[in-house]
Structure 1
């Protein structure tokens, strides 16, 4: 299972590096199959501010002067991106930089004009909209105006993180969640565990259409359903999209995402059903019948 370092830190005050924690997890019996450095393939890519943007005559290119802080305040970079504009804050891959996939960026002429790097899209940094808003827009990644020129791009877009890919054995079902791993981390570091909030308000509203029957208690000894109303489907908050993306899940909607989030967080499988779209509001847990076929959700 994939466990983000940043998510673990929400439950434990971790005072060691990701590499040191990897060793400690090995020491207490957890096989870390891989420690993934999200921004490890990226080097010398920083926040750049386009201070001048002039179309290059006879081409689709724009010749830009870019302020990259300590790396240079007047770096000339050519770009073919149609959404570039003066005052734009965007990732600048400088001469000698590296992008995901081992792509090397070198200073070279473009259409006869010297270009000392490349301005980047979100895709070129390995991002999607769940990891960073606007990353899938066609063209350059438009960063907030308060980002500081010269700041490593990993710090700005959240790539300064690690993912622990942990092999959890079948006898440790209690560790098949971020909270379960965090409990082990707290123990090995001698730190207190911060439990997530589980408080909620119950109303008196019920719906008589909802019923649950378990016909195979040997396979499923317990199945719980809860009626929730006044739900407005929509996009999830940015922090939730990011957490799911780091664990390998794409955001779908707030209703679906919260069930996936809770499953990853505490290890409780969940699913949300829209009662208005079901033929019946009876949930029946049973074995398949001989010759029975089903259509899956996907």
Structure 2
């Protein structure tokens, strides 16, 4: 399980280094398989401002830039072929001797007879996309925004100055299969307070049961099921901080609603799902065993033939999710979605394990459910989701 150092610091005042914290975690029974410095491959890449620019005397497509990089030099000459930069732009600069994401080493050189003492960088050369920094995927040089001191290490600007703890969580500690669960242990070992989660939200003047009929026909396989209806949603990009958190843990951003469910999976260890309610037949959600021969196509576009051993979430006419494993393609969130039913549940872990293995379908959700999710966290997760919906202005 990947746990970013910066995320832990949201919940605990950590005043020791990442390596020292690794030793502390070992001492209380957690195996840190690897401590990863995210920006390890990048060196001597800093923030610079283009002070002036002139045409190359012998190449129409090249320009000679003069950059101020703070303490590293106020007049660094770099030749570039990029056509999306101009004087005044603030950009990532790979200085002479720099290392980039792809292993390239930057040396002083000459381009058509003009000396160049570095390189202007794109997001790709830094190994990042828009989830890390908005504009990183542009076809050209990454243009930096805001008032950033010149000479600042670019890793601090784009989120690469961070550590990832790759922690092996044993089967007897399902309470620690989340960032907040590890933060709780860190608080205990450092004898520091644990910052409580913000679970507050303003309840709307309508109830879920007024919009959708929810029932559980297999309580032995689903001892707790919470559903909450949210209307007038606005599907858009998630804020940068959330997209970066997901990226640090190896997940790509989809949209604000799906990202919230994935964020909570990482933060609390509670898998959640969001249904587009406009695609739910007869306004019904039922947790039941699948009918023999019933089929479902999951979000990754794989079709499965089910049996009575499998647990599904169904609407009035068909399965809309393979319970505890993955949602159905027929009820997924799209840009047109405006009504959503959020799900937070506790499923019987042995059943999820059998379903996942028999169908050959694994997911981050099934991995959590197989280890066990406590009933209390299902409610906490739902409140956290509604808090984020409100905080992020999603609906």
Secondary structure of 2:152's partner? Answer: coil
Equivalences, count = 298
Alignment correspondent of 1:7? 7
Larger relative contact order (CA 8 Å, sep ≥ 6): 1
Name segments (4+ residues, structure 1) moved above 4 Å. none
Alignment partner, residue 248 of structure 1: 250
C-alpha displacement at 1:215, in angstroms?
3.0
Q: Distance in 1 between matches of 2:88 and 2:200?
A: 46
Check conservation: 1:88, 1:145, Cα contact below 8 A.
Answer: no
SS at match of 1:15: coil
Contact conserved, 2:175 with 2:181, CA < 8 A, in 1?
A: yes
Q: Residue 21 of structure 1 aligns to a residue in which SS? A: helix
Q: In 2, Cα distance between the equivalents of 1:221 and 1:59?
A: 70
Name the CA distance, whole Å, in 2 between partners of 1:109 and 1:159.
30
| Corresponding residue number in structure 1 for 2:55 | 55
- Counterpart residue number, 1:293: 295
In the alignment, structure 1 residue 79 sits paired with structure 2 residue 80 = yes
Q: 1:97 & 1:85 partners in 2: Cα distance? A: 23
Report deviation, 1:209.
4.5
User: What SS does the corresponding residue of 1:226 show, helix, strand or coil?
Assistant: strand
Contact 1:236 1:254 in 2 (8 A): yes
Partner of 1:117: 118
Instruction: Report the more deviating stretch, 248-257 or 288-297.
Output: 288-297
Return the offset for 1:65.
Answer: 1.0
Cα deviations by residue, 1:34-76 (Å, 9 ceiling, x for unpaired): 2111112111111111111112243421111111111111111
The answer to whether the aligner puts 1:43 opposite 2:43 as a matched pair is yes
- In structure 2, which of residues 258, 274, 278 is the aligned counterpart of residue 272 of structure 1? 274
Partner SS, residue 262 of structure 2: helix
In structure 2, stretches of 5+ residues that fail to align are 301-395
Q: Which moved more, 1:278-287 or 1:94-103?
A: 278-287
For structure 1, the 5+ residue unaligned runs are none
User: TM-score scaled by structure 1?
Assistant: 0.95
Identify which range, 90-99 or 67-76, moves more after superposition.
67-76
Measure the CA separation in 2 of the matches of 1:269 and 1:86.
Answer: 48
Q: Over aligned residues, Cα RMSD in angstroms? A: 1.6
Asked if the contact 2:257–2:274 (Cα under 8 Å) also holds between the matched residues in 1, the reply is: yes
Per the alignment, residue 382 of structure 2 pairs with none
Rounded Cα–Cα distance in structure 1 between residues aligned with 2:145 and 2:227? 43
